[in-house]
């Protein structure tokens, strides 16, 4: 019997099994009223979903506004930056900062102002008038305002070596973030759309050579971007090429990529120090399906005239689950700030 069925039914009690420190079990029984008291849902002023730059910035601002935000961490506390070895383009760090350290600092800063954290992955959201209900397994949260900042995850190729060298050993998904680390080195970009073409062109500012690997014999990018990429003297095209493995050197860093010709099946190695995967991102927004408007790729669509408002009063979205253009830590933080200020203004008017 589940907790929810017990509370909704006419059962006067049900067993609650607790594991003790010795590995055994203690079985107790509570009355229905005791259960309701124990599991009483607290109405929160602000619930923030996600602990990336957008979510933690929102937590700092709402915390300083004395709104006592509850932050639900999800499956990747700290967001994508926790997998980045060094961040050089976030203001205020002239020597750069380790991604994990930066996110830990943001977390501590939000906690200083009263932010509370819970590990929970929201599966579903319901909006009932001014009340927002969030379901995370058997647990239900209620809030006056919600800020969704669940981010997006990069779409990877899945080939051997990719995960092992991702985030600091040569495999990355952001040329803007990491391109400067590959000055005067050879790199590859995997992909064939506008994002891949843009990444390749950006990398020509630093790399000595950029090989653009695509599985077909022409790019899917817009004509102007395709023309720029294929005509650039620093960019070499690897047509009809399917990635097979990211290759490591003796220290575990990227030394090349093995590809297979889609037509002949012949395999070859392309030497590189960096492999930039540019085949898209997947926004973490499945749980708002049917509640908030999403575009064809799953990104939350904000209301006209705002970057963070949605069709529901008191319901906001910020960061990479909304932004599919810039996808930077600083822009996510800015959107988190916007969402927090909007939430504060909304609550002040209730």
Please list the active-site residues: 174, 177-178
CA distance 26 to 20: 7
CA distance 144 to 92: 34
CA distance 349 to 342: 11
DSSP string for residues in 326-341:
---HHHHHHHHHHHHH
CA distance 350 to 346: 7
Spell out the residues 6+ positions from residue 179 whose beta carbon is closer than 8 angstroms to its own. 202, 203, 205, 206, 207
131-155 in b/e form (b: 16+ CB < 10 A) is ebebbbeeeebbbbbbbbbbbbbbe
Q: Is 202 helix (H, G, I), strand (E, B) or coil?
A: helix
CA distance 262 to 200: 22
CA distance 188 to 114: 45
């Amino acid at each position: 019997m589940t907790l929810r069925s017990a509370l909704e039914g006419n059962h006067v009690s049900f067993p609650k099994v607790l594991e003790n420190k010795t590995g055994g079990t203690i079985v107790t029984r509570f009355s229905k009223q005791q259960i309701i008291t124990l599991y009483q849902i607290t109405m929160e002023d602000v619930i923030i979903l996600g602990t990336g730059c957008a979510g933690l910035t929102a937590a700092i601002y709402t915390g300083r506004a004395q709104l006592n935000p509850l932050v639900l961490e999800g499956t990747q506390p700290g967001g994508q930056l926790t997998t980045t070895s060094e961040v050089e383009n976030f203001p205020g760090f002239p020597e750069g900062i380790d991604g994990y350290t930066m996110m830990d600092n943001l977390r501590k800063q939000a906690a200083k102002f009263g932010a509370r954290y819970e590990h929970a992955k929201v599966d579903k959201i319901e909006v009932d008038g001014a009340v927002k209900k969030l379901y995370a397994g058997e647990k239900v949260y209620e809030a006056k305002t919600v800020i969704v900042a669940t981010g997006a995850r990069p779409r990877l190729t899945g080939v051997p070596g990719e995960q092992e060298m991702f985030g600091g050993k040569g495999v990355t998904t952001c040329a803007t973030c990491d391109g400067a680390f590959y000055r005067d080195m050879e790199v590859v970009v995997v992909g064939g759309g506008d994002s891949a073409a843009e990444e390749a062109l950006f990398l020509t500012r630093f790399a000595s050579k950029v090989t653009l690997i695509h599985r077909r014999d022409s790019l899917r990018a817009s004509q102007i971007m395709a023309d720029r990429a294929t005509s650039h003297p620093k960019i070499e095209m690897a047509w009809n090429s399917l990635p097979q493995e990211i290759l490591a050197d003796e220290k575990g860093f990227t030394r090349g990529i093995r590809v297979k010709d889609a037509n002949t099946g012949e395999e070859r190695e392309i030497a590189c120090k960096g492999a930039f995967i540019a085949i898209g991102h997947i926004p973490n927004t499945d749980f708002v399906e049917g509640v908030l408007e999403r575009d064809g790729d799953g990104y939350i669509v904000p209301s006209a005239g705002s970057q963070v408002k949605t069709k529901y009063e008191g319901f906001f979205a910020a960061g990479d689950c909304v932004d599919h253009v810039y996808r930077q830590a600083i822009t996510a933080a800015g959107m988190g700030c916007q969402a927090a200020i909007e939430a504060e203004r909304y609550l002040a008017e209730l």
